[in-house]
Amino acid sequence: MAVIGGGPGGLYAAALLKRLDPAREITVWERNAPDDTFGFGVVLSDETLGGIEHADPAVYAALEREFVRWDAIEITHRGRRHVSRGHGFAALGRRRLLAILHARCRDLGVDLRFRTEAPYPAWLAETHDLVIAADGVHSPTRETFASAFRPRLTSHRCRYIWLATDLALDAFRFDIAETDEGVVQLHGYPYTRPSAQGPGASTVIVEMREEVWRAGEFTLERCAELFKDTLRGHPLRSNNSAWTTFRTVVNERWSSGNVVLLGDAAHTAHFSIGSGTKLAVEDALALAACLAEQPDLERALAAYEAERRPVVASTQRAARASLEWFEDLALYVGQPPRRFAFNLLTRSRRVTHDNLRLRDAGFTASVEREFGCPPGTPPMFTPLRLRGLTLRNRVVVSPMDMYSATDGVPGDFHLVHLGARALGGAGLVMTEMVCVSPEGRITPGCAGLYDARQAAAWRRITDFVHAQAPGAAIGVQLGHAGRKGSTKVMWEGIDEPLPDGNWPLVAPSPLPYRPESQLPRELTRAQLADIRHQFTAAATRAARAGFDLLELHCAHGYLLSSFLSPLTNHRTDAYGGTLTRRLRFPLEVFDAVRDVWPPQRPMTVRISATDWAPGGTTEAQALEIARAFTVHGADAIDVSTGQVVPDEAPDFGRSYQTPYADRIRNRLAVPVIAVGAISSWDDVNSLLLAGRTDLCALARPHLYDPHWTLHAAAEQGYEGPGVSWPAQYRAGSRPPRTGRTDGPKPRLRLGS
């Protein structure tokens, strides 16, 4: 077996494989000297250490003697220091880690070849049974077999440098400096203890946006001066360190024949969650185990990748969220101090409100007080005022198309569907997209507000909500399907054209949604005026029907959305071209609706902040779209993404759309509604308390459990005014017993 690269991952893999089968001939090639290293400290989690202890007690025992352990995170921001405890960390010097692994490999009989370039990977593959490429982020092996591994490397927007100082910090430190050039941040942690031999040492990473770095001279001396309080006047030192940008490495495959990638060669995760060495060591454990468990190499490498890929993908999602948070750090420095600290701690979405409350209840309570939570009130149950409407809590039942109307008239199904969710405790219940004309429907089953029968049916529903679910508000979402209309209902074939009974489609430009979709007609100015009138007529009916809030649907590729996206608007007149022109018709509709909508009732706008497709709406354009609607009087922006073009490639994951809401809220200082795979009340509390959103809209959780909000209150032990159980349901406000439970044990012996 050949191991290319003598970092922790490669060495640990060699040691484990040799320990499991001493007959194996294992050679490690490392081009540097044994004590060469370009980092300083290494952080490992308790979970990873547990795996090491089980797999190789000798290595664990040697590491245990070296570890520095601590449980505090300290955040310094605008002269205020915040401390949160309960976050167990363990670290040691990278040189010591390598020395321990060198010694273990030698004891086991691994052939270590330092200052030696590995032979060409293709030759190794021909002459060895297994080649482990642990040759780092710039892996030559990965490049040699690029056609098989199909790597994607993404560079990011910050510069950083690895440094050290001869001072043992007593916590994981995040310090923020605001300079004339921009925001600079320090990440620091100890890796050796003070002793008779010296004062101990800490890793210090200095990071800033690329444009900040280019605007100034950030020497070691200047960086030490910026963070002199944290460093207590100690200088910073380098070890061939250079300013660089982080690169995220993703590979479609991790093995090809008998060559397998491990550690940074296979994947990287940003240093702000401290996971590079951790991932490499875990890779080594999994690879060794799979080789022992599987009958042949092919199945072993497949099992290794199947086991590790989901873990790595989860870590990379968290690392990307953390990386992007630090890239956008300037957005948050103006936050109240405790909110800023909480936002930083929860940036990767792995640490949450509930998790942090368990770790450090005092710190979390102080953040809640600053947020304005009444005593004993979770953030999600604090009220929010939009214009003349006060929402009793921050939970929104997101618009969900039910495709169950007849001739646009909502029926008993809608009454039960929306009524049940209002009874379930949400602060705001939204209708599905309600269409402003028969031709504006998505499917024959879509609800409308284009005639009196429909308005009367909606009034029945709003009356029920207001009478039977006091405190719940109900909102209507108005929209026009545009080129995405005249299709089957979802469960018969989503976005598939009707086989018969079609109606003509219109759009900004004559572009079908899919090749098999109907070709829409390009709207004329006269037709634009007609559609504008359809929206105002529907809004007038909505007001009379008793809706508390109106949302204009400008997302998901429907008519108004397709004016906004450059992928769907190819017009050359005053309604196409620049973003200002693409905004013109949606803003005309918004203004017309705002004029007829009661002034005390709020209006929101749902937008797609990205099309998830090349050439689509950019981040800067999404901000301009949100700003334009806010200037025209929108009370909140409902920030969704995608569904504009069929060949989109969304980056799915937990809360995956919330960063778009976060940027709009914190760049523009406007209220936002966050949507997209928010599934737990803990997520809702975390997003609100961090200042990333003002409201959270949940769809599928409310399909699974109409009483999701009531149950969230019960699970948190909350019984205040932010939610109330209907009198008829109050007996069910505690979970029922599910079977026999053991009662109290009788005393059967004397003495203790």
- List residues with catalytic annotation: 558
Rounded-to-integer distance, Cα 373 and Cα 381, Å: 8
The amino acid that residue 182 corresponds to is G
Long-range contacts of 18-25 (CB under 8 A, 24+ apart): 18/105, 18/108, 18/109, 18/110, 19/56, 19/108, 20/288, 20/291, 20/292, 21/292, 22/108, 22/109, 25/1, 25/111
Rounded-to-integer distance, Cα 390 and Cα 457, Å: 25
Q: Are strands 389-391 and 384-386 parallel, antiparallel or unpaired?
A: antiparallel
Residue 229, token pair as written in the block = 């309080």
Judge contact between 638 and 602, C-beta under 8 A. no
Rounded-to-integer distance, Cα 725 and Cα 719, Å: 9
Q: What's the 3-state SS for 469-523?
A: CCCCEEEEEEECCHHHCCECCHHHHCCCECCCCCCCCEECCCCCCCCCCCCCEEC
* Partner residues linked to 430 by β-bridges: 475
Sign of the dihedral through C-alpha 524, 526, 532, 534: negative
Question: For the chain, how many helices (H) and strands (E)?
Answer: 26, 28
CA atoms within 13 A of residue 525's CA, in its CB half-sphere: 5
Residue 455, token pair as written in the block = 């308005």
Judge contact between 656 and 622, C-beta under 8 A. no
In a 3-state reduction of DSSP, which class is residue 417? helix
Ranges of beta strands (E only) in 599-724 are 603-608, 636-640, 672-674, 695-698
Q: Are strands 259-261 and 384-386 parallel, antiparallel or unpaired?
A: unpaired
Q: Are strands 89-93 and 41-44 parallel, antiparallel or unpaired?
A: antiparallel
Residue 692's alpha-carbon distances to 317, 666, 670, 687, in angstroms, are 18, 7, 11, 5
Rounded-to-integer distance, Cα 420 and Cα 105, Å: 64
